Structure 1
Amino acid sequence: MWKCILKNNQKGFTLIESLMALVVNALVLLLVTGLFQTLYHVNRYFDIKEKNIEWHVFLNQVENDLEDKEILSVQRNEVQLKVLQSKEKVTYKPWGATLRRYRNETGYVPMLTKTKNTTFSKNANGFSIQTNFVNGQTMRGAIALE
């Protein structure tokens, strides 16, 4: 009778084999969790770097726009520029999560993306721009006129 019971129990896993399987599964889960955390931090780092590049390209574009234009108005959420010796206008204003550049209020070019809000303010020799991005980063810039 005992031989019959022992033979039936030999088909399953032992307690030690089950514990080893749990340890291996736990290690794999820890490694996967660490991998996801590392990927999150790397993605966030490159997202911040991308915003810095986008911000500097945007400021460069605004400075180039002012070479042949004059400032018509600076409001809290809009800047209007007038092309010298022409009736054309260039407007910078936010729309949703982007800051757009309009030419004669017809077409637009997205200048900044993933923004929460953008504010403009006039100062003594030009205007200032402050943008809060979705990732929590805040960028400020000042555009001076000669």
Structure 2
Amino acid sequence: MHFNGIVTKRSGFTLIEMVVALVILILSSQLILATTKTLTHTTQLTQMERQNINWHISMIELDRFLDDAQFISIEQANYEQQLTVAKDSKRRYTLTKTKKELVVSSTKNGYMPLFDGVSRLKMVYHEPFLELEARLSDGTAYQHECFLEAQHDTKNTD
């Protein structure tokens, strides 16, 4: 371009520079997308593993709690099942789902949360085993079986 007899150089990008810039932009966006997908997948797997570990720890705690307990009954309470056990002649505890939590509670307002995120809990007692089936909010299902003796009346009959 000429301006008053002086040749000026017009600044700008050439076609090759634009193509190189677009290739770099596309490659970097693909790299970011792949990294994001990998991170999301890894996070999901980690959460599933953490949930599995928490379930097994909860069931170990429940097994320890039920070691010296005796089965009393399973009843329907507020659309949920409620297991009642006795630790001795005076102490009774219930195992139930409360607000998406699997909890053990006592008659004296004691409360021990075992597992969170439970949407449905099914308990079946076949002496001497208690079968638990829990379905979580994300659709995952867990099962556990624990040993639980039935309470037998020890009345003397002569």
TM-score relative to the length of structure 1: 0.82
Secondary structure in structure 2 of the residue aligned to 1:79: strand
Q: What RMSD in Å do the two structures reach over aligned CA positions? A: 2.2
* 1:85 aligned to which of 81, 86, 89: 89
* 1:132 aligned to which of 129, 132, 135: 135
In 2, distance between residues paired with 1:89 and 1:72? 9
Percent identical pairs in the alignment equals: 20
Runs of 4+ in 1 over 6 A off after TM superposition: none
In 1, distance between residues paired with 2:36 and 2:118? 26
Letter in 1 for 2:37: Q
Report the equivalent of 2:152: none
In 2, distance between residues paired with 1:105 and 1:80? 14
| Contact 1:70–1:83, Cα closer than 8 Å, also in 2 | yes
Please identify, of 98-107 and 122-131, the stretch whose mean Cα deviation from structure 2 is larger. Answer: 98-107
Q: How many residues align?
A: 142
Letter in 2 for 1:114: G
Structure with greater Cα Rg: 2
**Deviation at residue 54 of structure 1 after TM alignment:** 1.4
In 1, distance between residues paired with 2:110 and 2:15? 71
Letter in 2 for 1:46: T
TM-score relative to the length of structure 2: 0.77
**Deviation at residue 105 of structure 1 after TM alignment:** 5.8
Secondary structure in structure 2 of the residue aligned to 1:84: coil
Gaps of 5+ in 1: none
